[in-house]
Amino acid sequence: MHISEGVLSGPVIAAGWALAAGGLAAGLKKTHTEKLPETALVSAALFLASLVHVPLGPSSIHLTLLGLAGVMLGWSAVPALFIALLLQGILFQFGGLLSLGVNTTVMGTAALAGSGVYRAILPRIPARLGFLPAFASGFTAVIAGTVLVCAALFFSDMELRATAALLFAANLPLAAVEGVISAFTVAFLSKTVPQYVS
């Protein structure tokens, strides 16, 4: 879900930075000192997970772990994502510094969407279906992020419509994979460090 430099229009870049600044301010305000080690751990996991790219047609896909980040961190996921994206842009030229605002907005919003779905479903299901909230979180985060990337491409250049449609189709299988990974990870964390997913 990294949008490279030179793809987005000026207004989309500016809107992305404005929204990212608001998200970062809210995320930093809600990140308490005792949550910093957990936030750093998740940021490192996000950094590493998205370094492994799987070629798919003219593009590639990679794990995002956005739903899991949202479940574990809530609003703190936004600064965690910003740091991971900043380091990827500087060290590996994934994404870019101009598009960093849009990338942070896309991924931060996706993580928050995943968190919202998790917290909405969790109290309403029986224990035997305990995997569903985490699966829904991972799935929703990828879909939400993909929709926002497609919107950024669409509003930047009308000729990118075909690319946006292809990107959406390519990320549907990834959404299911992310859902499964989130379900297994949350189940494991619930047994070992339940405070991370409560």
**What CATH number is associated with residue 111?**
1.10.1760.20
Within-domain flag for 196: no
pTM: 0.90
Within-domain flag for 61: yes
145-154, 155-164, 168-177: least confidently modelled range = 155-164
Range of the domain at 89: 10-190
Instruction: Give the pLDDT score at 72.
Output: 94
Instruction: Give the pLDDT score at 39.
Output: 92
Token duo for residue 21: 């600044």
pLDDT at 52 over 80: no
The set of long-range contacts for 80-87, using a CB threshold of 8 Å and a minimum separation of 24, is 80/27, 80/39, 80/40, 80/42, 80/43, 80/46, 81/43, 81/46, 81/107, 81/108, 81/111, 82/20, 82/24, 82/108, 83/43, 84/43, 84/44, 84/46, 84/47, 84/50, 85/2, 87/47
Decide which of 163 and 82 is more confident. Answer: 82
